[in-house]
């Protein structure tokens, strides 16, 4: 007759669920500090070890943040915090899944460009242009890649959808892009890449959402089709 904590699943799993509902129910606000590990363990009637595993789980998900010597805190619960795990997905994906991810990135990048075309400010437009200029100013693959990433990020930011920015960041994670570029660059397509970026910028400058969508989709599609042909 004590069923306060129905023994469904493992103890740790239950602890994770309980912490999650504490947040989703609104009992824990973003930025707020939690009780100590020792307290929480006692309250949920489990050992500190299990409690720590639960906390670690929510930490890697970007929901909690543990500061050594200070305490455990709820993150801001914003997209950037929560979607960091997308990078892991991209890193561990291979073969056909890479292509599927590219297909998704194409759709989102196109959407971001379209939204940006409608909302972008002169300052943001200038920043995007900066990165394009930088891509023209060097032949160093690493530097070009860096400005390539910055270019797309600036466009996404101009769209005003922070969640979308976080997702695209994840899909463009370091190793993901690096893996694709390694080899892609060998065929000397820097000029074409620069041109594609220019087309996107042109569309943004013209405040033409459909043109921007098409240019961005074509750009990502270029990489995508190369990847598809090479069947990595």
Partner DNA sequence: CGGAGCCGATTGGTCGGGCCACTGGGCGGT
Partner DNA sequence: ACCGCCCAGTGGCCCGACCAATCGGCTCCG
**By CB neighbour count within 10 A (0-12 exposed, 13-18 middle, 19+ buried), where does 122 fall?**
exposed
The count of other CB atoms within 10 Å of the CB of residue 28 is 20
Q: Could you tell me the maximum CA-CA distance found in the chain, to the nearest angstrom?
A: 74
Restricting to residues 108-137, name those near its own copies by CB under 8 A: 108, 111
10 binds DNA (CB under 7 A): yes
* Smallest distance from DNA to CB 189, Å: 44
Q: Is 47 in the site for DNA (CB under 7 A)?
A: yes
71 near DNA (CB under 7 A) = yes
101 binds its own copies (CB under 8 A): yes
Q: Which of 20, 22, 48, 198 binds DNA (CB under 7 A)?
A: 48
| Contact track, its own copies, 28-67, x by CB under 8 A | ---------------------x--xx--xx-xxx-x----
Asked whether position 27 contacts DNA by CB under 7 A, the answer is: no
Should residue 180 be labelled a site residue for its own copies when binding is judged by CB under 8 A? no
* Residues of this chain that bind DNA (CB under 7 A): 10-13, 34, 36-38, 45-50, 52-53, 55, 66-72
* Residues of this chain that bind its own copies (CB under 8 A): 12, 16, 20, 23-24, 49, 52-53, 56-57, 59-61, 63, 77-79, 82-83, 85, 88-89, 91-94, 97, 100-101, 103-104, 107-108, 111, 161-164, 167, 175
């Amino acid at each position: 007759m004590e069923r306060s904590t129905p023994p469904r699943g493992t103890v740790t799993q239950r602890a994770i669920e309980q912490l999650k509902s504490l947040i989703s129910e609104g009992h824990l606000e973003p930025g707020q500090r939690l009780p100590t590990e020792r307290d929480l363990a006692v309250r949920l009637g489990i050992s500190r070890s299990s409690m720590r595993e639960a906390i670690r789980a929510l930490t890697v998900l970007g929901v909690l943040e543990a500061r050594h010597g200070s305490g455990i805190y709820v993150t801001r619960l914003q997209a950037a915090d929560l979607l960091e795990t997308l990078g892991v997905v991209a890193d561990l994906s291979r073969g056909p899944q890479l292509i599927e991810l590219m297909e998704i990135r194409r759709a989102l990048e196109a959407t971001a460009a379209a939204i940006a075309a409608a909302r972008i400010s002169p300052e943001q437009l200038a920043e995007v242009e900066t990165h394009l200029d930088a891509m023209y100013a060097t032949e160093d693959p690493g530097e070009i890649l860096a400005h390539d990433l910055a270019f797309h990020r600036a466009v996404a930011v101009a769209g005003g959808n922070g969640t979308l920015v976080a997702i695209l960041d994840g899909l463009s994670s370091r190793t993901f892009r690096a893996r694709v570029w390694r080899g892609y660059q060998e065929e000397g397509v820097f000029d074409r890449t620069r041109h594609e970026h220019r087309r996107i910028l042109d569309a943004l400058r013209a405040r033409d959402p459909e043109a921007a969508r098409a240019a961005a989709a074509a750009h990502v599609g270029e990489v995508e089709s190369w990847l598809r042909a090479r069947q990595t």
